[in-house]
Every structure is written in structure tokens, then in C-alpha cells.
């Protein structure tokens, strides 16, 4: 597999970083995962916007343009012989002196690698499992998609290696927060519910896209503080992330849900697929829907 590392395309066997990289020593870095569909990096503009916001919070200087990232993605796809792929863009503080640094990081390490995916993914159900482990609080005011992943790793170890189960974090105060690698939604009487950012969740790009798409479909949307009992009257539950898209839930504990047969899960999944081969940002979808309404 070929990867991008600090300005060059290299085979993975030739890639190396400094042992003094502060991403390795202190976890100073953020990353984004996104998918390509027929070679198109879906919602790349939004992923880069969140990445740059996180880098600013970590005081890491980085200025690679969207057009350059698209070129790198295309080059890697061509070299690897793929069209549909998982992409991870990783930026760390780069090498520095030993010790905690307060000055800006000016020599960031940038890595972009891919993993082949099938061209289409049918709706695949998962079981939801409420975790004993609670969600850690964000490192700063808002949770970053950072290298600090021990809380997620410990949660995954709690539920085991099965790909058919997803853990559900509660906050320290007992509110539903998010999945181990996903955001969570549920449906009640035609309305969509999801925990608010106040819970300390990662504000996923797919989460934002689903909320915008639900509004365009004129579905009532509610974000707030919810407890386990709020799921008891839900008809549908689903997880979202940028690689697995919309993942219907068929069971949580003794409670069963409609899973892949759920009307709204299927509706959202179908509409999601309409955009994946060309959309660069959520704002483009909003503008397009606004124009369609005006017409």
C-alpha cells in the first residue's frame, strides 16, 4: 500500500517518523476519516474544516489546501488501484524537544493513508450495548478528533472484538453520549432525537450531515440531554460515522428495534446515497435544497 507522508508518496514499508514527534510522545495531533465513492472524497471540505479547527486549538501550524488534498487522494487511489476507499488524514505536532511545548508547532507531520472498501454497503445491523465505562470529558472545551483514544480503546475491550456490536457511552452524569466510534440517533413518532454537543460527544461530520438531511426531509429534529429510559419508546435506533454511514440497531439489552426494516433508517440511507459521489460540503446540500424549494 502507498501512503502520503510529508509531501511525498511512499510505500508503507518505507514510511517513518521521528521518535521525538510530539504526536507520538504526547498525543499532540488530530485526524479525520472519510470515504471516497468512485474516487470522490465525500464531504472533504467539512472534514478539513474540522481538522483545521482542531489544529488551531492544539497550536499546530498547517496549511494544505483542499485542492492539494484531493490531488493526494486521487494519486493514492491510482497507485493503490482503488476507487472506493477509507481515508485517514493524520496531522501531528511533528518533532520537537523533549518536554511539553507551549510555543506553536511549525513542522507538523502529515500522513494520509487508505484502505480499500467495497463500492456499496447494504444496511448492516448492529447490537447496541450500554457501557459500564463512562465517556471521558473532552480535553478542552470541545471534543477534538484527537490521538487521545484510550477511553475508546478501553470501551472496545469491554464489549469485545465483534463487528456486530457497538458500545454506547453514558456521561458521568448518566446521559446518553455517543458510540465508541459513532454518533447515536433514534426515532420517536416520526421525529429524530440525538444527544447534544453539551454531553461532550464528538460532533461527527456524518452526524451533522444526517441532521441537515433530516431537516431537508422536514423531519422534526431534537438535540438534548437524554437517559437510557428515553430509548424505551423509540421505534428505530441507528449509529452513524463517515465510513459505515447509517447503521441500524436491532437490539439494545432486552429491547428490540426495527433495524434495517425501519422506515426512517431506510429513508435516510437512500437519501444519503444520492450525494456521495459529488458533494464536497453539507452547505452545498443545504443550498441545493433551498434552490429546489424556491423553484
pLDDT given for residue 89 in this prediction: 98
| pLDDT, tens digit (0-9, with 9 covering 90-100), for 21-69 | 999 999 999 999 999 999 999 999 999 999 999 999 999 999 999 999 9
Separation of alpha carbons 147 and 257, rounded Å:
34
pLDDT given for residue 2 in this prediction: 98
Q: Is 96 left (phi over 0), alpha (psi -120 to 50) or beta?
A: beta
| pLDDT, tens digit (0-9, with 9 covering 90-100), for 68-127 | 999 999 999 999 999 999 999 999 999 999 999 999 999 999 999 999 998 777 899 999
- The pTM of the full predicted model, rounded to 2 decimals, is 0.95
CB 35 within 8 A of CB 243: yes
Given a cut of 60, whether residue 292 has pLDDT beyond it is no
Given a cut of 80, whether residue 148 has pLDDT beyond it is yes
CB 191 within 8 A of CB 222: yes
pLDDT given for residue 288 in this prediction: 82
Residues facing residue 251 across a β-bridge:
127, 256
**Cα angle value 196/201/206 (rounded, 5°):** 85
Question: 230 to each of 55, 112, 194, 220, 235, how far by Cα in Å?
Answer: 36, 40, 11, 17, 11
Domains of the chain with CATH codes: 2-116 (3.30.470.10), 126-291 (3.20.10.10)
Lowest mean pLDDT among 79-83, 139-143, 150-154: 139-143
Q: How many helices (H) and strands (E) does the chain have?
A: 7, 15
**Band of the pLDDT at 290, cuts 50, 70, 90?**
low
Amino acid at each position: 500500500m502507498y501512503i502520503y507522508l510529508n509531501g511525498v508518496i511512499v510505500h508503507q514499508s518505507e514510511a517513518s517518523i521521528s521518535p521525538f514527534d510530539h504526536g507520538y510522545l504526547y498525543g499532540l495531533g488530530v485526524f479525520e476519516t472519510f470515504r471516497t465513492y468512485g474516487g470522490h472524497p465525500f464531504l472533504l471540505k467539512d472534514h478539513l474544516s474540522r481538522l483545521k479547527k482542531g489544529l488551531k486549538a492544539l497550536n499546530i501550524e498547517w496549511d494544505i489546501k483542499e485542492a492539494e488534498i484531493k490531488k493526494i487522494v486521487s494519486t493514492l487511489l491510482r497507485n493503490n488501484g482503488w476507487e472506493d476507499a477509507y481515508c485517514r488524514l493524520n496531522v501531528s505536532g511533528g518533532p520537537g524537544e523533549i518536554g511539553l511545548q507551549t510555543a506553536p508547532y511549525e513542522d507538523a507531520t502529515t500522513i494520509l493513508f487508505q484502505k480499500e472498501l467495497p463500492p456499496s454497503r447494504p444496511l448492516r445491523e448492529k447490537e447496541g450495548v450500554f457501557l459500564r465505562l463512562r465517556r471521558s470529558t473532552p480535553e478542552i472545551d470541545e471534543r477534538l478528533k484527537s490521538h487521545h483514544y484510550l477511553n475508546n480503546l478501553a470501551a472496545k475491550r469491554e464489549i469485545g472484538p465483534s463487528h456486530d456490536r457497538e458500545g454506547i457511552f453514558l456521561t458521568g452524569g448518566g446521559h446518553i453520549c455517543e458510540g465508541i466510534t459513532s454518533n447515536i440517533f433514534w426515532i420517536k413518532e416520526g421525529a429524530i432525537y440525538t444527544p447534544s454537543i453539551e454531553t461532550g460527544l464528538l460532533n461527527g461530520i456524518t452526524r451533522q450531515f444526517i441532521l441537515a438531511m433530516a431537516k431537508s426531509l422536514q423531519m422534526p429534529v431534537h438535540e438534548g440531554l437524554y437517559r437510557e429510559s428515553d430509548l424505551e419508546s423509540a421505534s428505530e435506533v441507528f449509529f452513524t460515522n463517515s465510513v459505515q454511514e447509517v447503521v441500524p440497531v436491532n437490539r439494545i439489552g432486552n429491547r428490540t428495534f426495527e433495524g434495517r426494516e425501519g422506515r426512517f433508517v431506510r429513508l435516510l440511507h437512500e437519501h444519503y446515497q444520492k450525494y456521495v459521489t459529488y458533494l464536497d460540503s453539507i452547505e452545498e446540500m443545504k443550498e441545493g435544497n433551498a434552490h429546489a424549494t424556491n423553484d
